[in-house]
Chains A and B, each alone.
Chain A
Amino acid sequence: MVSRDEVMAALASIPGPDGRASLADSGALSGVTIRDGKVFVAIAIDPTRAKAMEPMRAEAEAAVRAIPGVAGAVVTLTAESARAVAGASPGHAHESKAPPVRHGRPSEPLPGVKHIIAVASGKGGVGKSTVACNLAVGLAKLGLGVGVLDADLFGPSMPKLFGIHSKPGLAPDGKRLIPLESVGVKVMSIGFLIDEGAPVVWRGPMVVSALNQLLREVVWGELDVLVVDMPPGTGDTQLTMAQNVPLAGAVIVSTPQDLALIDARRGIAMFNQVKVPLLGVVENMSYFVCPHCGGRTDVFSHGGARKEAEKLGVPFLGEVPLDIAIRANSDDGRPVIASMPGSPQADALLQIARRVADTLATGATGAKPAPRIRILE
């Protein structure tokens, strides 16, 4: 088996591009790969000197091929940017591996999208997607251009909640998807692309890459707000969203019971850690009014989310009742804000949307402008 050290030793006998330091020490090696006894070496050079460098390349190839056990050697010259070549100084050249590889994407805003907000919960099953859907419809009712990104890849709910059963079309560029529209909201979900009931069984890296596609390879057009429905928890999806786009804020949904609030607190702590401002907390399933007798029951207790918000210094956005009309309309794909306008249920949700819109207009508490980043020569 040929080792990297043997290759480097062979290259140490050959003068590098500057004619002084050896190839191994010159910092010009931009890649050494050994596969099945074959050795591939890339040498970064100034492209204007490609001809002059050819003898060096041939010499290096011969030297590597001469190593016992080498089945073949390919040495190529690559044109590096002047900076990368100049920057690789001899002091640490022995460690220089590949040229800087970009892992993931830098955090770029989405072109045309003014604010991206996350709806998260910590705990699953607290009605986060229902709130996210109605929040989006509510914001659209207030006159804003709104999109919804269903970031819950393992349990996409938006196709059902918006009653969308078609597949998204391809944009003329043949690459990007056109979001589907319902009640004035543009929606994108992995659920549009797979059969209902088909499981998505993926590890983290797949989630990250699919999420980036759903986010960036979609023709969102001009939007005031993109509402991102997060899956429960504090994992890959949350981290990807927090790292890859500048989030304008997060809405935390919780039921009033302690069991849900524990996880809501975790969600809040996570957003604090990654410096995403909190737009506020919604108490869902806040109380139940019996349709038969009119008596009220606090099934999941009451007021816990409000208390928690006050304790943590986070705005409280409102209470949404545990209600059969919200449940039934959601299952039918008719967001209650649109299908039952003027009802107490719709009003409760609309008020939350109004508070979110107001906060976005004035800037969430703790929201600070991104620092200016410069590289001076």
Chain B
Amino acid sequence: MAWPTDITAMEKGRVLEVAFDDGKVIRLSAERLRVESPSAEVQGHSPSQKKIVTGKENVAIVAIEPVGNYAIKIVFDDGHDTGLYSWDYLRRLAS
């Protein structure tokens, strides 16, 4: 299982770059992370409840907090801060 070594928000919070210990480096836009947030506010409690989030072209990451050993919480400048992005989830978003 690939493990992240470096998690960096760059370009004024518009891009998140994650480097994994298997050498792979992924880049995700803040917009993508925001609209695909794993939070129940976005995903609901079943696939049928998933909300389509729009209008986030300019959203930016303002803070990143570690969650235990397995995830990060990303705080966006639109106030969204309930998504916990696990290492697996970040990797999946990039594939």
Contacts and interface: CB of A to CB of B under 8 A. Distances in A.
A242 B70 contact: yes
Given A372-B5, A372-B6, A84 B70 contact: no
Interface residues of B, number: 40
A87 B21 CA distance: 32
B67 A107 contact: yes
A88 B60 CA distance: 8
B70 A374 contact: no
B9 A87 contact: no
Interface string A318-346: 00000000000000000000000000000
Given A95-B55, A275-B70, A373 B64 contact: yes
Contact of B12 (A88, A242, A377): A377
- Chain A, interface SS category: loop
B42 to A, nearest CB: 13
Contacts of B73: 106
A101 B81 contact: yes
Nearest to B56: A92
A301 interface: no
A240 to B, nearest CB: 10
Given A274-B70, A371-B6, A374-B9, A91 B65 contact: no
A243 B70 CA distance: 8
A114 interface: no
A361 interface: no
Nearest to A102: B81
A100 B68 contact: no
Contacts of B23: none
Interface in A263-320: 273-276
A108 B37 CA distance: 23
Contact-residue size bin, chain A (C-beta under 8 Å from the other chain): 35 or more
B25 interface: no
A46 B43 CA distance: 35
B75 interface: yes
A374 B68 contact: no
A365 interface: no
Contacts of A94: 55
Contact of B63 (A95, A276, A375): A375
A244 interface: yes
A173 B67 CA distance: 29
A370 interface: yes
Interface string B1-22: 0011111111011000010010
Nearest to B18: A371
A342 B44 CA distance: 56
Contacts of B72: 373
Given A84-B77, A371-B4, A92 B21 contact: no
A247 interface: yes
A83 interface: yes
B78 to A, nearest CB: 5
A273 to B, nearest CB: 7
Contacts of A369: 5
A276 B69 contact: yes
Contacts of B82: 103
Nearest to A368: B3
A100 B61 contact: no
B47 interface: no
Contacts of A92: 55-59, 78
B24 to A, nearest CB: 13
Nearest to A83: B62
B79 A96 contact: yes
A96 B12 CA distance: 18
A345 B6 CA distance: 46
B79 to A, nearest CB: 5
Contact of B13 (A87, A242, A244): A87
Contacts of A246: 66, 68-69
Interface of A: 83-84, 87-92, 94-103, 106-107, 242-247, 273-276, 368-377
Given A87-B77, A101-B81, A374-B6, 10 more contacts: A84-B62, A98-B79, A101-B79, A102-B81, A275-B68, A275-B70, A371-B4, A371-B18, A371-B66, A373-B72
In the complex, the 5 A-B pairs of residues with the closest C-beta atoms, listed nearest first: A91-B58, A87-B77, A106-B65, A275-B70, A371-B4
